[in-house]
Structure 1
Amino acid sequence: MSITRVLCLALLSSLFAGCATHLPQHELPSSHVLPADESSPLVRYVNDRLVDPNDWSAFNPLYEGNDALAARLYLIDQARYGIDLQTYIYADDTTGKLVAAHLLQAADRGVRVRLLIDDIGNSLSDTDLGSLDWHPNIDVRLFNPLQLRHLRMLSKVFEFGRINYRMHNKLLLVDGVAMITGGRNVGDEYYALSPMDFQDIDIIGLGPIAQEAGASFDLFWNHDLAQPVSKILPRSNDQALAALREQLLAARREAAQGTLMEAVAGSSFIQAFQDGRLAWYNGPATWLYDPPAKADAHSDLAGEPFLSRSLARHTGEIEHELLIMSAYLVPGERGQVALTHLLDRGVRVAVLTNSLASTDVLAVHSGYAPYRKPLLAAGMELWELRPLAAQNERVNAFVSDSLASLHAKKFIFDRHTVFIGSLNLDPRSVSLNTEAGVLIEHPGMAEYMGSLFERWTDNDYAWQVVLDEQGDLQWLADDVAWQREPGTGVARRLITWMIGWLPIESQL
């Protein structure tokens, strides 16, 4: 989200807060996740690996960008019945074209595809959306769409009261038994394919958790905010679909000639998955989510923090330690009180978030900055990601001189339970966006995530933020101490300070 967009949102929220336009009711029959049977290779795979297929699910983390993309494409290619894809951002780039090409190929072999995209985060043209939807096995819906399709900025102004609520969920569900969720959208920057490399961790889940996630997808899909493109966009035709098919095939051939598909094809995760060598974490889990009514400006439930309340109940039960990875950290007054209460009880609270140098949204950093001193004074431990985090070891294998930015959203409770999803610790996630994720009760998984937290807060990855003897902020790494935001220039610091004077915290 750019500075300009955030400032515009702040201005529009004051000028047009009451302008909540209505979307038409689509009045289509309800659609639901398709049941799969033993003819699906994924069903057979899942049944062979679940310890308790009635109650427990199986999980494995997706850490590397090439593994995360390879896992998505592999699951899509394995589908025999249904694919449901829900995303906040769908970019018209290499990743977006590859995913679309594989979805189209699945539809050609008879798989039903449901594609639900938040319209604000959508970069596909209306022509391409309509062409995909023209396929008899593909249905495309836009969540809370702009009504003035060719005047998007004007639509954002006059429909602000409605479109300020967004669907931030990320979910891929295949044959009703396998799912991927986390913080990654569909776009190059989430898979180490662009100069800005978003550091994230997804989770692949098998079994009952996929059914729970599918039920939430159905709620969103059947809600009036999920508008069928066949109802709101010009009618497509066979020629348009054929043209899109050629474009996607060309993009796929081009990608196959580069290092991208070589890395995807060589994914150690996929090889282990196929060979049955992948170690799965089996245990109880719960799918937590905000209902679509949270994003309905005309609903009595608009803005209700369903998911954050659920997590707050778990937070209140913590005895020893809370580890948080949050790309955007603006706890607000209530969040500050909750964290301080944990610290007063003797709970260790440690947080990793973006630094001013690594953040992609300066306005969010301006909202976060005032909370650092009081939380540090209360005893919280804080790290901020370095923009060249362990550059030579991990991040971007395909684009040179890439910058790392934290995009993970993880909460680790007492090294016993972990939440992985789309929720940031900020007002927008709590009150304006719908969010979703999985709460996994498994000490082994939680310990693994804890080890990643420790790795990402090492000197190679992050600066530790502390208070010096005078109570001022200090950044530490590599036996060096900085007295101002490291890795930044005067202009970046000045712009952030100026934004901090604006009354926009509720929009961050």
Structure 2
Amino acid sequence: MKASSKDARSLKPAERSRLARGVNKETEGRGEDQSGFYLVHDGLSAFVARAVMIEEATVSLDLKYYIYSDDASGRILTGMLLQAADRGVRVRLLVDDLGTRVTNPWVLAIDRHPNMEIRVFNPVEGRSGIRRGIEQVLDFGRINHRMHNKLLVCDGNVLITGGRNVADGYFSKAETEFLDVDMIAVGAVVPDASSIFDDYWNSEVAVPVTKLALVDDDTCTLDELRERVAVYLQGERESEFSRALEKSDLAEKLIAGDVPFQWGKGVLFADPPRKAIDRDSVPVSDYPGYKLEKTLKQCKQRLRITNAYLIPGVPGLDLFSTLQQNDVQVDILTNALATNDVAAVHGAYSRYRKPLLQAGVHLWELRPVAQQKQRLHWFKGKSRASLHAKTFVLDEDRGFVGSINLDSRSIIQNTEVGVLIENAEINRQLNRLFDEWTAPDTAWQLALDGDRIRWHWESEDGQKRVTECEPETRWWQRVLAKILSWLPIEEQI
């Protein structure tokens, strides 16, 4: 039988496992307020990091994700989670109901495992069809608040957080590849992450999957599921994911205490889960977006932002303008119309491009060809790039990695998580990544020519190019984005 609800708290961290001994080597002699950070930005490494955590776990695995897809990467990781539960690891998985449609009857078989439990954040009772749509309309005030967090905590010793969901596109295997950033951390921030997870897991907003209206498939027993998982994992042994995991030395480095963690103070920003059902009861000062804004205002030299969905609004525009007036250079990379997966977001963002440029902000938009060389090293065929990262380079000594987009939905409606890091080397790594992603062959740089915006880039033959039209888009995309820019829906996107 599963543990009772009164036991639904993080377990004591592992002490004798291979991973625990490696982490102890890393943390030995460090101050109690110190954390170690290791940045991961390419998709396959991000998949490997999660797989390694699951493989090495001996006590507990706590995961919460906005999107957890039933695709190759999702099935592999789910299979590994089942294997971890079979060897005695307690597994808790919390997913958002809007981002992750829990309809597969196999979910119930997984949840029957004595060491596994799945909960759904802020769910609609109806699982599919007309009933679900009607409930979403009638209860929009509640349904509009989503859990956008991404967090994995292994054995109470290591965490992974950042912008990535669990789906092939975030791990480099899809027609659209999402460029993103994760942070692996050990030390002082890990107990904080466990506490945050417990707050969500035990919240009234987190509903056990057994209470949802799933169709129970009695023919899919736990033993049958184990057999199917074993067959599936065997069939995936030659996949890019499995080969990357096999070639990776991350596990060995973690066990040996040889991961080049960068040490410093770290602070986790996280929305209280109650924000999703009673926002008025949560002080604005508790919002991660509010805390992040206060931190950005402290910049003295530079602020470099990589953000997938940029709708700064008047407050954001005022913030960046004030920083520019105080001799703080603000550089921003976001999606172009050609790489944005939400047309309404681009329409709202487009209204702010000219004011940002007039304020002195340097602005880039990602090109669809970004990251192709790295992708072709592992995967056949080309993909369309889309920016999904949410990172901040603050002056020369701090960095922020998380799930927070610079739009009203992230700041006001959703629950988010991120980590502020005081470390000069992490700052430099994020800065180098910003330079890489804003290179002329990877991003378009925007500039004003009189009263018109021009897009500057470099072609494959090294020639400098300029256009006054949204690059690599069709006329109907531009018209749609323009129409959407007129709609008063900024707070909902």
Q: Describe how 1:192-211 pairs up with structure 2 within 5 A.
A: 192-211=172-191
Query: Is the aligned partner of 1:45 residue 2:22?
Result: yes
Query: Is the aligned partner of 1:392 residue 2:386?
Result: no
CA distance, structure 2, for counterparts of residue 252 and residue 124 of structure 1: 22
**Counterpart for residue 22 of structure 1:** none
Q: Describe how 1:34-433 pairs up with structure 2 within 5 A.
A: 34-50=11-27, 51-52=29-30, 54-150=32-128, 151-233=131-213, 239-267=220-248, 269-270=250-251, 272-273=253-254, 276-297=257-278, 300-301=281-282, 306-394=287-375, 397-433=378-414
CA distance, structure 2, for counterparts of residue 56 and residue 303 of structure 1: 28
Query: Is the aligned partner of 1:502 residue 2:476?
Result: no
**Counterpart for residue 434 of structure 1:** 415
- 1:264-319 deviations in whole A, cap 9, x for unaligned? 32235455445554311011111111110111147523988710111111111110
Aligned partner of residue 312 in structure 1, secondary structure: helix
Counterpart residue identity of residue 204, structure 2: D
Residues 265 and 59 (structure 1), Cα distance of their counterparts in 2 relative to 1, 3 Å cut? same
CA positional deviation for 1:223: 0.4
Checking the alignment, whether the CA contact within 8 Å between 2:106 and 2:217 is kept in structure 1 is no
Counterpart residue identity of residue 347, structure 1: V
Checking the alignment, whether the CA contact within 8 Å between 1:66 and 1:267 is kept in structure 2 is no
CA distance, structure 1, for counterparts of residue 86 and residue 63 of structure 2: 17
Checking the alignment, whether the CA contact within 8 Å between 1:193 and 1:399 is kept in structure 2 is no
CA distance, structure 1, for counterparts of residue 380 and residue 260 of structure 2: 31
Deviates more, 1:120-129 or 1:85-94: 120-129
Query: Is the aligned partner of 1:471 residue 2:456?
Result: no
Counterpart residue identity of residue 40, structure 1: S
CA positional deviation for 1:126: 4.3
Checking the alignment, whether the CA contact within 8 Å between 1:390 and 1:460 is kept in structure 2 is no
Aligned-residue identity in percent: 39
Checking the alignment, whether the CA contact within 8 Å between 1:321 and 1:349 is kept in structure 2 is yes
Aligned partner of residue 119 in structure 2, secondary structure: strand
Residues 302 and 129 (structure 1), Cα distance of their counterparts in 2 relative to 1, 3 Å cut? farther
Checking the alignment, whether the CA contact within 8 Å between 1:304 and 1:431 is kept in structure 2 is no
Aligned partner of residue 424 in structure 1, secondary structure: coil
- 1:479-507 deviations in whole A, cap 9, x for unaligned? 11110111111111111111112111111
Checking the alignment, whether the CA contact within 8 Å between 2:95 and 2:121 is kept in structure 1 is yes
Checking the alignment, whether the CA contact within 8 Å between 1:156 and 1:163 is kept in structure 2 is yes
User: Which of 466, 472, 487 does residue 481 from structure 1 map onto?
Assistant: 466
Query: Is the aligned partner of 1:453 residue 2:431?
Result: no
CA distance, structure 1, for counterparts of residue 209 and residue 58 of structure 2: 24
Deviates more, 1:279-288 or 1:183-192: 279-288
The alignment's TM-score, normalised by the length of structure 2, stands at 0.93
Checking the alignment, whether the CA contact within 8 Å between 2:23 and 2:255 is kept in structure 1 is no
Checking the alignment, whether the CA contact within 8 Å between 2:101 and 2:127 is kept in structure 1 is no
CA positional deviation for 1:124: 4.1
CA positional deviation for 1:251: 2.4
CA distance, structure 1, for counterparts of residue 414 and residue 367 of structure 2: 27
CA distance, structure 2, for counterparts of residue 209 and residue 39 of structure 1: 20
**Counterpart for residue 16 of structure 1:** none
- 1:162-206 deviations in whole A, cap 9, x for unaligned? 110000000000111100000000100000111100001101001
- 1:236-268 deviations in whole A, cap 9, x for unaligned? 768432333333223212221233311232235
In structure 1, the gaps of 5 or more residues are 1-26
The alignment's TM-score, normalised by the length of structure 1, stands at 0.91
Aligned partner of residue 206 in structure 1, secondary structure: strand
- 1:28-54 deviations in whole A, cap 9, x for unaligned? 425211112422222211110125152
CA positional deviation for 1:129: 2.1
CA distance, structure 2, for counterparts of residue 303 and residue 428 of structure 1: 14
Counterpart residue identity of residue 51, structure 2: L
Deviates more, 1:85-94 or 1:206-215: 206-215
CA positional deviation for 1:414: 0.3
CA positional deviation for 1:366: 0.3
- 1:44-81 deviations in whole A, cap 9, x for unaligned? 11110125152211111112211111110111111111
In structure 2, the gaps of 5 or more residues are 459-463
Residues 302 and 38 (structure 1), Cα distance of their counterparts in 2 relative to 1, 3 Å cut? closer
Counterpart residue identity of residue 504, structure 1: I
Deviates more, 1:156-165 or 1:396-405: 396-405
Checking the alignment, whether the CA contact within 8 Å between 1:134 and 1:238 is kept in structure 2 is no
CA distance, structure 1, for counterparts of residue 220 and residue 374 of structure 2: 47
CA positional deviation for 1:369: 0.3
CA positional deviation for 1:333: 1.1
CA distance, structure 2, for counterparts of residue 267 and residue 80 of structure 1: 20
Aligned residues: 481
- 1:297-349 deviations in whole A, cap 9, x for unaligned? 47523988710111111111110000100000000111111111111111000
CA distance, structure 1, for counterparts of residue 140 and residue 467 of structure 2: 41
CA distance, structure 2, for counterparts of residue 490 and residue 286 of structure 1: 45
CA distance, structure 1, for counterparts of residue 204 and residue 363 of structure 2: 42
CA distance, structure 1, for counterparts of residue 252 and residue 443 of structure 2: 32
| RMSD over equivalenced CA pairs, Å | 1.9
Counterpart residue identity of residue 209, structure 2: V
Counterpart residue identity of residue 127, structure 1: P
Residues 214 and 239 (structure 1), Cα distance of their counterparts in 2 relative to 1, 3 Å cut? same
Checking the alignment, whether the CA contact within 8 Å between 2:46 and 2:182 is kept in structure 1 is yes
